[in-house]
Chain A
């Protein structure tokens, strides 16, 4: 069993290439009071690959097929800046980790799960009257530590996967037993390096233990979203079981069981379109 020292993780994370300028500014704007929308729109527009992915989803039923948009500027007019922002961040981050299908850990299934949690989070946020786009982004990024583990500490990650299989345990238990670190800790380091908004940093760090830190809205939303996503089997993030739902989260979010069937339906509908983000 090889422990993974936090110092090694931090050192590696410091070496991560920066996100594209457009995506950096988008992440920055989550916490800005005044956003120069025109400038950001221009930057996204100049990144053709990014713009293409954003427009593909913007034009789909994910946003109700409102009307066809051919430029990022149009997309902002029709869908609003928040929606375009969350799509661009999603497309930008997904692009940062080029696919590597066919290893123990399937990247495509990983992103399907990540997008699935984003969609679940969005639906939960809509139901409780919170910002659906921030929730979507937080959900999408919640397991970024797992991606970092696979990409940069692959041998150690394989040990975790082996432990998972042999003991049929939960992923955090497997990580603690083998590495003494979890993907949540690692994800938090990545989130800091890339200056993710505070609320998203905390959701990444605490989504498996929402009762440990301060009770933060997006942490609770992402925690529940992850549980629902596993229950619906959307994508695969290396373990097929439903993680335990925190009673604290359930109580704080104030949802009723009767709310769930409609939400599950909305989630599966939205998810069919959101997966356009991973298409080439």
Chain B
């Protein structure tokens, strides 16, 4: 995972924090891995934050995307391997898989 340091002004909703973010007094505001929403960015501005370390989003080729999708699906299948005859598990598996695949985009 590569990261880059950006100013708050350059931050956009959807970016992910690469490192914990602290305010000027050194108090931790957000943990690494937090996805930045419009509301969060507005709050950070009010709290006097200037810079953020964010994750550099990789652009994947079609082939790489397809491979990631396969890996994801296999992982979800593995997690749900004991679903058996429980109809709820089939539904849940679909919801979770769709959620994860959505994130890939």
**What is A's interface to B at a CB cutoff of 8 Å?**
56, 59-61, 64-65, 68, 170, 227, 230-233, 240-245, 247, 250, 257, 260-261, 264-265, 268-269, 272-273, 275-276, 279
Min CB gap B95→A, angstroms: 5
A240 and B82 alpha carbons, distance in the complex (Å): 11
A54 and B31 alpha carbons, distance in the complex (Å): 15
A218 and B96 alpha carbons, distance in the complex (Å): 23
Which of B25, B81, B86 is A245 in contact with, Cβ under 8 Å?
A: B86
5 additional contacts, CB 8 Å, given A242-B83, A244-B84?
Answer: A65-B43, A242-B80, A244-B82, A245-B88, A273-B30
Docked-complex contact B89 and A242, CB < 8 angstroms: yes
On whether A65 and B29 interact (CB within 8 A), knowing A231-B79, A244-B84, the answer reads yes
A68 and B88 alpha carbons, distance in the complex (Å): 43
On whether A227 and B82 interact (CB within 8 A), knowing A59-B27, A65-B29, the answer reads no
Q: Which residues of B contact A269 (CB under 8 A)?
A: 34-35, 37
Q: Which residues of A contact B32 (CB under 8 A)?
A: 272
Min CB gap A185→B, angstroms: 22
A233 and B79 alpha carbons, distance in the complex (Å): 9
Docked-complex contact B47 and A244, CB < 8 angstroms: no
Residue of A nearest to B80 (CB): A242
Docked-complex contact B89 and A60, CB < 8 angstroms: no
Residue of B nearest to A66 (CB): B43
Pairs across A and B, CB under 8 Å, 13 listed: A59-B29, A60-B29, A60-B30, A60-B31, A61-B29, A68-B25, A231-B92, A260-B95, A261-B102, A264-B96, A269-B35, A272-B34, A273-B34
Min CB gap A227→B, angstroms: 7
Number of residue pairs A-B, CB distance < 8 angstroms:
93
Q: Which residues of B contact A245 (CB under 8 A)?
A: 86, 88-89, 92
Q: How many residues of B contact A (CB 8 A)?
A: 37
Min CB gap A239→B, angstroms: 10
- The interface residues of chain B, by DSSP majority, are classed as mixed
B98 beta carbon closer than 8 Å to chain A: yes
Min CB gap A172→B, angstroms: 12
Q: Which residues of A contact B29 (CB under 8 A)?
A: 59-61, 65
Min CB gap B42→A, angstroms: 9
A170 and B93 alpha carbons, distance in the complex (Å): 17
Residue of B nearest to A261 (CB): B99
Q: Mark B62-105, 1 if CB is under 8 A from A, else 0.
A: 00000000000000001111111011110111011011001000
Min CB gap B85→A, angstroms: 10
A275 and B32 alpha carbons, distance in the complex (Å): 10
Q: Which residues of B contact A242 (CB under 8 A)?
A: 79-80, 82-83, 89, 92-93
Docked-complex contact B79 and A273, CB < 8 angstroms: no
- Could you say which of B25, B43, B82, B84 has the most chain A C-beta atoms within 10 Å of its C-beta? B82
On whether A170 and B79 interact (CB within 8 A), knowing A56-B27, A245-B88, the answer reads no
Docked-complex contact B91 and A257, CB < 8 angstroms: yes
Residue of B nearest to A246 (CB): B88
On whether A56 and B79 interact (CB within 8 A), knowing A65-B40, A242-B92, the answer reads no
Docked-complex contact A68 and B27, CB < 8 angstroms: yes
Q: Which residues of B contact A232 (CB under 8 A)?
A: 96
